Amino acid sequence: MFSEHTSIITPKESAVVWRYMPMDKFLFLVTTSKLYFCRSDRFKDPWEGTWPKQIIDSMRSDEVLQQNSENKDALLRLSDAFKNIIYLNCWYCGSHQSAAMWELYGMSGASIAIKSTIEKLKKGILCKENVYIGKVEYIDYEKDTLHELNSLLPYFIKRKSFEHEQEVRILMIDIPEAGTRIDKNLKEGVLVNIDFKTLIDVVYISPSAPKWLKNTIQIILNTFGYGEILVKESELYAPHNY
């Protein structure tokens, strides 16, 4: 279930979000009503979940930690291990479709984009664990710092090179059972139950998709009881009519 967090900036409920995906992932979503959350250390970006340089330098120079190198090493190991229990699901935030996102994730032809809102995300996620929804801040890791020290904040920052993603993240902490080691042998992803009808506003078909795909998507939605969900063809590259 959604939970507020004082350190995480959640966009207003009316903010529009999108998730671009190939057809196979959409079919999995429709047939299972489960959203896949990827473990944070499995992302391609090696900077995922890391602190800005100023904070790392501050940790290394802290007088208490300097006096006890074991404490310093333990703190750094704990920060690294934390990545193994953080799971993320990522969305694009913007009122309009993104040409860049279609190019990156949805131009295989048989691809779709799910349109939703922050309010729908809050209401549509059904897991018992707390989930946090936050806007990603794009920073210069060499020069910028964070406004406070909180263990979740590194998962809501990225380098400026990724600013085109305009990302909103849903974060879940999957705490292992007592006695279980927090290491890289844990599951690479978790499946979270959703209310499909609540979560999804509109399904958009890729601008490069064949014409038959819209009807196919509509038939699939009808089959699983989601016939009221609107299916639209993307008009991203349609010529203007004036």
Following DSSP, what letter does each residue of the chain receive, concatenated? -B---TTS-PPPTT-EEEEEEEHHHHHHHHHH-EEEEEEGGGSS-TTTTPPPHHHHHHHHH-HHHHH-HHHHHHHHHHHHHHGGGEEEEEEEE-SS--HHHHHHHS-SSSEEEEEEEHHHHHHHB--SS-EEEEEPEEE-TTT---SS--TTGGGGEEEGGGGGG-EEEEEEE-PPPTT---STTS-SEEEEEB-HHHH-SEEEEPTTS-THHHHHHHHHHHHTT-TTSEEEE--TTPPP--
212 part of a folded domain: yes
Q: Which residue has the tokens 């349109």?
A: 115
Structural domain of residue 21, as residue ranges? 16-233
153 part of a folded domain: yes
Lowest mean pLDDT segment, chosen from 72-86, 128-142, 199-213: 72-86
222 part of a folded domain: yes
4 part of a folded domain: no
Averaged pLDDT score across all residues of the chain:
89
Q: Which of 32, 235, 19, 40 is nearest to 120 (CA)?
A: 19
Instruction: Please tell me whether the overall predicted TM-score, pTM, comes out greater than 0.75 for this model.
Output: yes
10 part of a folded domain: no
Give per-residue pLDDT as tens, 137-189: 999 999 998 888 888 999 999 999 999 999 999 999 987 665 566 565 568 89
152 part of a folded domain: yes
Quote the pLDDT of residue 92. Answer: 98
- Tell me how many domains the chain contains: 1
Quote the pLDDT of residue 179. Answer: 56
Quote the pLDDT of residue 238. Answer: 86
Angle at 21 between CA 18 and CA 25, to 5 degrees: 125
Name, of 43-57, 83-97, 140-154, 228-242, the range with top average pLDDT: 83-97
Quote the pLDDT of residue 106. Answer: 66
8 part of a folded domain: no
Query: Residue 192 — pLDDT band, cuts 50, 70, 90?
Result: very high
7 part of a folded domain: no
Report the C-alpha gap between 167 and 178 in whole angstroms.
Answer: 33
Give per-residue pLDDT as tens, 121-138: 999 999 989 999 999 999
Lowest mean pLDDT segment, chosen from 87-91, 138-142, 172-176, 190-194: 172-176
Please state the three-class secondary structure of 74-127 as a single string: HHHHHHHHHHHHEEEEEEEECCCCCHHHHHHHCCCCCEEEEEEEHHHHHHHECC
Compute how many other C-beta atoms are within 10 angstroms of the C-beta atom of residue 139. Answer: 16
Quote the pLDDT of residue 69. Answer: 53
